[in-house]
Amino acid sequence: MVKVVDKYVKGFIGNKTITRNQVKKIHKMIEEQTGLGSEYTGWVHQPIGIDQIEYERIYQAADKIQAQSEVLVVIGIGGSYLGTKAALEMLRDPFNNTGVEVIFAGHQISAAYTNSLLKYLEDKRFSINVISKSGTTTEPAIAFRIFKDLLYKKFEDADQRIYVTTDKEHGALKTLADEMGYDTYVVPGDIGGRFSVLSAVGLLPLKAAGIDTDFILEGAVDAYYDLQNVNNEAYKYATLRSELYRQGKSIEMLVNYEPQLIYLSEWWKQLFGESEGKDHKSLFVSSASFSTDLHSLGQMIQEGTRNLFETVIKVKQTKLDQTIPYDQKNLDGLNYLAGKSMQEVNEKAFLGTLVAHTDGGVPNIVIEIDTIDGYHFGYLVYFFFKACAMSAYLLEVNPFNQPGVESYKKNMFALLGKDGYQDLKEEIEAKLKKGV
C-alpha cells in the first residue's frame, strides 16, 4: 500500500487549475488506452495479463543461469537496465549477497569500465542477458560484441550462456538469436523501455539473482486494482506535482532516507523525464538521499532559488534496526541518544528536515510505504506508471515517445561514419568548427 500525504504542500498551492473533470477524462483515456501514444500502453493492464508460459520459461532460465554461472552480465541501457538495477539495490543485502551476481554493461561507452569488467570475468563462470528491442542501439551493441567475444573464447557451451530479450518478431538482435539458437524472451511490442521492468526485461535477471519475482508481481497486481478508481493515490500525486509546476515550481527532487532506494530514484528520473520532457515543457527531475545529501545540497535547498519542491519516499518501518549504545566517557556528547534506535533517529531527521524545508519555502509531498520489500517495489512501480501517464497527459504531451533521443543518436552515427549519414556528418562538423 502507498499513501500520499499532502498536508505539507497544500499551503503552497493557490487557486487550483486542474479540474476533477480533466482527471476523469484522462483516467478514462488511460484505462481504455485511447490517449496519445496509445500503441505503447500495454503496461496499463499488464499486471493481470502476465504471459504464464513466458513466465514459466523465465523460471527455467533462471535455474539454468544459477547452475551454470557465478555472474550474469546484463547488457542494456535506459529502461533495459534501470528498473532491474533499482530492484536489486532495493531488495538485496548490500553486504551479504548469495547466488548469482548481476553486473551491468552496455549502459555507457567507457573503455575503463569495460576493461575492468573483462578482467573481473576472466576467472568467473558467467552468462549474458542482452536486452534490446532492435539490437542496434550503440552502447549495448558494442558491449554485446565485446562480452560475447570473451564468452566464446572461454566456454564451449557459449551458445547456451546467452539469453536474449528482444522484440518478438523483428530487429537485428531477433535475427541473430534465431540464427544462433539463443534462448529468447520478449520485450512486449506495446510497452516502451521505461515501462518494461515488469516484463522479461526485469523479471529474468531478477529471478536469476534470487529475487522473489512472484512477490513483486503481487504488489503490482494489488496496485492495479487499487488504482483503477479515479480517486486514487497515484493521481493525487500526479495532480499535486502538476499544480506545483503550474505555479512556478520547475524542479522536483525525489528524496529518500534509505540508501537502498537510490536507484529507484534513478529509474524514476528516466520514467518522468523521458515521458514528460517534450514541447519545451516538464519538471526537471532530480533526486537526493538524506541525510547524506543534506550535507551537500541542504544549503541550496534551504535558501537557494525557490523553484523546487521535494517528493519524499517515507519508509514507515525498516526490517532491521540498531540501538545506539551508551558510552561511559560520552566524549562525543551522544549519550542523550543512548538506547534509542537508528530508525527513531532517522525519523526525527526526516521530520526536522521537513519542517525546515517547508519553513524555507519548499513544498513537500510525502509518499508513505510500509516497508522495503519486493511487494512494495512492484506496487511503487505501477503507482509511478499510473502517476506518470496522468501527469504527462495533464501537460498535453505524448508520454510514450522520445523524439529528442533520436537527435543525438543520428549525430553520433554521423560522426562515427555510419553509412547513410555522410551529409549529416559534414553538417555537424561544420557546426562544431564554427561553435554555437
198 in any annotated domain = yes
Beta strands in 233-336 (DSSP E): 251-256, 284-289, 308-315
Is residue 37 domain-resident?
Answer: no
- How many domains are there within the chain? 3
The per-residue pLDDT for 276 is 97
The residues annotated as belonging to the active site are 274, 295, 409
Grid coordinates standing for 168?
518478438
pLDDT tens over the chain, length 436 residues: 899 999 999 999 988 899 999 999 999 999 999 999 999 999 999 999 999 999 999 999 999 999 999 999 999 999 999 999 999 999 999 898 788 999 999 999 999 999 999 999 999 999 999 999 888 889 999 999 999 999 999 999 999 999 999 999 999 999 999 999 999 999 999 999 999 999 999 999 999 999 999 999 999 999 999 999 999 999 999 999 999 999 999 999 999 999 999 999 999 999 999 999 999 999 999 999 999 999 999 999 999 999 999 999 999 998 889 999 999 999 999 999 999 999 999 999 999 999 999 999 999 999 999 999 999 999 999 999 999 999 999 999 999 999 888 888 889 999 998 988 988 998 999 999 988 6
Contacts 24+ apart (CB under 8 A), 93-98: 94/259, 94/260, 98/210
Residue 281 forms part of a structural domain: yes
Do 101 and 137 reside in the same domain of the chain?
Answer: yes
Q: Domain ends where: 191, 211, 231?
A: 211
For residue 172, the one-letter residue type is A
Helices (H) and strands (E) in the chain, counts: 15, 10
Cβ-proximal residues to 159 (8 Å cutoff; 6+ apart), any chain: 180, 181, 182
3-class secondary-structure state, position 270? helix
Among 161, 193, 211, where does a domain finish?
211
pLDDT at site 435: 87
DSSP string, 111-143: HHHHHHHHHHHTTS-EEEEEE-SSS--HHHHHH
Q: CA 241, CA 252: separation in Å to the nearest integer?
A: 8
* pTM of the predicted model as reported, rounded to 2 decimal places: 0.96
Both 186 and 269 in a single domain?
no
Query: For residues 276 and 400, what is the distance between their CA atoms, to the nearest angstrom?
Result: 9
Residues 196, 88 share a domain: yes
309: left (phi over 0), alpha (psi -120 to 50) or beta: beta
Task: Assess if residue 278 is contained within a domain.
Answer: yes
Cβ neighbours of 407 (radius 10 Å):
9
CATH for 293: 3.40.50.10490
Q: What is the reported pLDDT for 375?
A: 98
Same domain, 229 and 310: yes
User: What pLDDT does residue 408 have?
Assistant: 86
Q: pLDDT tens, 155-177?
A: 999 999 999 999 999 999 999 99
| pLDDT value, residue 436 | 65
Instruction: Quote the pLDDT of residue 304.
Output: 96
Does residue 38 fall inside a structural domain?
no
d(CA 255, CA 252): 9
Output the DSSP codes for 331-379.
Answer: TTS-GGGTT-BHHHHHHHHHHHHHHHHHHTT--EEEEEES-SSHHHHHH
Q: List pLDDT tens digits, range 87-109.
A: 999 999 989 878 899 999 999 99
Looking at the fold, whether 147 and 232 belong to one and the same domain comes out as no
Residue 275, pLDDT score: 97
Verify that 286 and 381 share a domain, yes or no. yes
Q: Looking at the structure, tell me whether residues 56 and 202 fall in a common domain.
A: yes
* Residue range of the domain that includes 201: 46-211
Would residue 181 be called left, alpha or beta, if left means φ above 0 and alpha means ψ between -120 and 50 degrees? left
Q: Is the dihedral of CA 345, 351, 357, 360 positive or negative?
A: negative
